[in-house]
Amino acid sequence: MFELLGISAPALFGQLLLGLINGAFYAMLSLGLAVIFGMLNVINFAHGAQYMMGAFAAWLMLGILDVPFWASLVLAPIIVGLFGVVLERVLLKRLYHLDHLYGFLLTFGLALVIEGLFQWKWGSSGAPYPSPIAGGWNLGFMYLPKYRGFVVVAALAICLITWYAIERTRLGAYLRAATENPTLVRAFGINVPRLITITYGVGVGLAAMAGVLAAPIQQVSALMGTNLVLVVFAVVVIGGMGSIMGSIVTGFGLGLIEGLTKVFYPPGSNTVIFVVMALVLLVKPAGLFGQTK
Amino acid sequence: MSVPVMAEPLLKVAGLEAWYGESHILHGIDFEIGRGELVTLLGRNGAGKTTTLRSIMGIVDKRRGSVKFEGLETVGHPSNQIARRGIAYCPEERGIFSSLSVEENLLLPPVVKPGGLSLEDIYRLFPNLEERRRSQGTKLSGGEQQMLAIGRILRTGASLLLLDEPTEGLAPVIVQRIGEIIRQLKERGFTILLVEQNFHFAATVADRHYVVEDGRVIDMVASGDVKQNLGKLQAYLGV
């Protein structure tokens, strides 16, 4: 085996692969945030809590009804997405005429309430979720559990499907147009308030789907989303608020950068994303893919 | 004044009042348009012409009075439902979407009734748009953007078109082209309510003119009577 700057190949590739897996979650979550922000102008701080709800929904369905992982992967996002729809109809829509800050505060408060309730009911120690795909591949430089490989592929597929739906379909064109000028789009006969509700529901569903995918890797716990969502917000800022492709590329990219930092300078791995954020903001205040309005 | 006798007007506006926030803009607009007519709203800047169009479309903060389209009341309904009944709006600022290509802009307004133009018809009417259909909507020239804004609402099957100053800021040769297109649309049976600052342009295309001042309709002149009423009209418009 060769060595690079004193680092063995297994260590390097191993961390890169872990970075890719983390990046997959960053990408899925920042994508949902971007979709929601683009349409609602709301910074959805409850995204981490909704991710956690997805994992919990899968775990509860398995424990109580014996629903297998693959069914949960579809059902949990629908259930949590519907919860998002109710949230939007009952609470969020009352804030659209106010400053962004109010939507941010509301979703922040909701995240605290939701996570508090889950913690109260199920504690914060976390519960395991059995991996739906057993075994792994020996790649020579490392052992890759098959499930982790699947997560990377599934995340890429979810990201590309979402990108395609927004950039290449009729519904996506409605969405993009309504982001620019909702009044005119409505005057063309499109029910924009319903479009907004659907968008929020889909964004929340994406978070929940990421949560289901995370369940077999992480412990299912009430606070599993809080730390992650902080990093994801940094990813969104680096990529540019509201940019779909930006959040996908930045999500995977930053996961890899984080992985590399773990190899070359382990103490910096927790802060490297925020350093990158500061540097990007100095050079491009709107983010790498963002457009200044 | 020769007022055409109309069995049932396509659009009948009565006592229409409208507000933006606290400001009361329309104080009682009354007029009507028969099916297939081309009618203009004339008046000075700030008289309430654009607000009248926006009120018909249902996109002002608050409105009161009556706007009947095909005999049915529209006041109290949201703009998406009004559009679905067959009214289409081309705003003064054109409203071309920059995140959509030219063709996506054209395909954006959903078809609400049968009988609209096909995409091919629209490209035949505006060949420039077909050449540039993959371009970003806002990369077009001003004239092309105006054609896109008009072309976009012809697909939907709407029978009443509200056109807000389609010639504003355009070169004379393009104004002429838009005039031809508006005449063609009338021949195809569209009913058109046109807001125009350019009176000479309006006089060449319209059947009748309503004069708006301070949020009210104060006079009506048929195109045939424009010559006799030129002095009066010029006084209204301050030209």
Per-residue pLDDT at A12: 85
Per-residue pLDDT at B198: 82
Q: Do A187 and B107 touch (CB under 8 A)?
A: no
Q: Which of A170, A181, A186 sits opposite B80 (nearest CB)?
A: A186
Q: Which of B79, B99, B100 sits opposite A187 (nearest CB)?
A: B79
Chain B residues in contact with A189 by the CB 8 A cut-off are 80-81, 83-84, 109-110, 112, 156
Q: Which of B58, B89, B97 sits opposite A180 (nearest CB)?
A: B97
In 3D space, the residue among B223, B188, B186, B222 whose CA is nearest the CA of residue B204 turns out to be B223
**Nearest chain A CA: its distance from B199 CA (Å):** 27
How many Cα atoms are found within 13 Å in the side-chain-facing hemisphere of A84? 32
pLDDT (mean) for A24-49? 92
Q: Which of A177, A190, A192 sits opposite B97 (nearest CB)?
A: A177
Per-residue pLDDT at A100: 84
- Does the pLDDT value for residue A291 go beyond 80? no
Amino acid identity of residue A54, one-letter, is G
CB A213 within 8 A of CB A22: no
**Nearest chain A CA: its distance from B77 CA (Å):** 12
Q: What is the DSSP letter of B118?
A: P
CA dihedral of residues B105, B107, B113, B118 (deg, nearest 10)? 110
DSSP string spanning A42-92?
A: ---TTHHHHHHHHHHHHHHIIIII---HHHHHHHHHHHHHHHHHHHHHHTG
Per-residue pLDDT at A97: 85
The residue ranking higher by pLDDT, A124 or B154, is B154
Chain segment B89-131, per-residue pLDDT in tens: 999 999 999 999 999 999 999 999 998 999 999 999 999 999 9
Q: Do A176 and B78 touch (CB under 8 A)?
A: no
pLDDT (mean) for B221-230? 88
Q: Which of A166, A169, A171, A188 to mutate to test the interface with B (most CBs of B within 10 A)?
A: A188
Per-residue pLDDT at A4: 63
**Nearest chain A CA: its distance from B209 CA (Å):** 25
Chain segment A217-229, per-residue pLDDT in tens: 999 999 999 989 9
Q: Which band of pLDDT confidence, cut at 50, 70 and 90, is reported for residue A292?
A: low
pLDDT (mean) for B10-30? 95
| B interface residues, A as partner, C-beta within 8 Å | 57-59, 78-84, 88-89, 91, 95, 97-100, 104, 107-110, 112, 153, 156
Q: Do B97 and A189 touch (CB under 8 A)?
A: no
| CA atoms of A240 and A75, how far apart (whole Å) | 31
pLDDT (mean) for B217-221? 94
Q: Do B83 and A188 touch (CB under 8 A)?
A: yes
| CA atoms of B26 and A158, how far apart (whole Å) | 50
B-chain residue closest to A188, CA distance: B109
| CA atoms of A28 and B76, how far apart (whole Å) | 41
Q: Do B98 and A181 touch (CB under 8 A)?
A: no
**Nearest chain B CA: its distance from A184 CA (Å):** 7
Q: Do B108 and A179 touch (CB under 8 A)?
A: no
Determine what percent of chain B is predicted with pLDDT higher than 70.
Answer: 97
Sole residue written with tokens 């979402």: A162
Q: Which of A173, A174, A187 sits opposite B83 (nearest CB)?
A: A187
- Does the pLDDT value for residue A1 go beyond 70? no
Number of residues assigned to chain B: 239
Quote the pTM value. Answer: 0.90
Sole residue written with tokens 């350019």: B198
Q: Do B83 and A189 touch (CB under 8 A)?
A: yes
Q: Which residues pair with A22 in a beta bridge?
A: none
Helices (H), A123-265: 146-168, 170-180, 182-187, 192-214, 224-239, 244-264
In 3D space, the residue among B187, B186, B208, B188 whose CA is nearest the CA of residue B196 turns out to be B208
pLDDT (mean) for B33-47? 94
Q: What six digits make up the tokens of A201?
A: 């529901």
Chain segment A203-247, per-residue pLDDT in tens: 999 999 999 999 999 999 999 999 899 899 999 899 988 788 889
| A interface residues, B as partner, C-beta within 8 Å | 170, 173-174, 176-177, 179-181, 183-192
- Does the pLDDT value for residue A142 go beyond 90? no
Q: Which of B50, B80, B164 to mutate to test the interface with A (most CBs of A within 10 A)?
A: B80
Per-residue pLDDT at B94: 95
- Does the pLDDT value for residue A260 go beyond 50? yes
Determine what percent of chain A is predicted with pLDDT higher than 70.
Answer: 97
- Does the pLDDT value for residue B227 go beyond 60? yes
- Taking every pair of Cα atoms in chain B, the longest distance, rounded to a whole number of angstroms, is 49
Determine what percent of chain B is predicted with pLDDT higher than 90.
Answer: 82
Chain segment A174-186, per-residue pLDDT in tens: 999 999 999 999 9
Chain segment B42-101, per-residue pLDDT in tens: 999 899 999 999 999 999 999 999 999 999 999 999 999 999 999 999 999 999 999 999
Inter-CA distances, B224 with B2, B10, B179, Å: 9, 22, 18
CB A243 within 8 A of CB A201: no
The residue ranking higher by pLDDT, B41 or B230, is B41
Q: Which band of pLDDT confidence, cut at 50, 70 and 90, is reported for residue B1?
A: very low
| CA atoms of A175 and A197, how far apart (whole Å) | 12
Q: Which of A176, A187, A192 sits opposite B100 (nearest CB)?
A: A176
Chain A residues in contact with B78 by the CB 8 A cut-off are 186
Residues 6+ apart with CB under 8 A from B119: B103, B106, B107, B155
Q: Do B83 and A191 touch (CB under 8 A)?
A: no
Per-residue pLDDT at B235: 87
Mean pLDDT of chain A: 92
Chain A residues in contact with B153 by the CB 8 A cut-off are 188
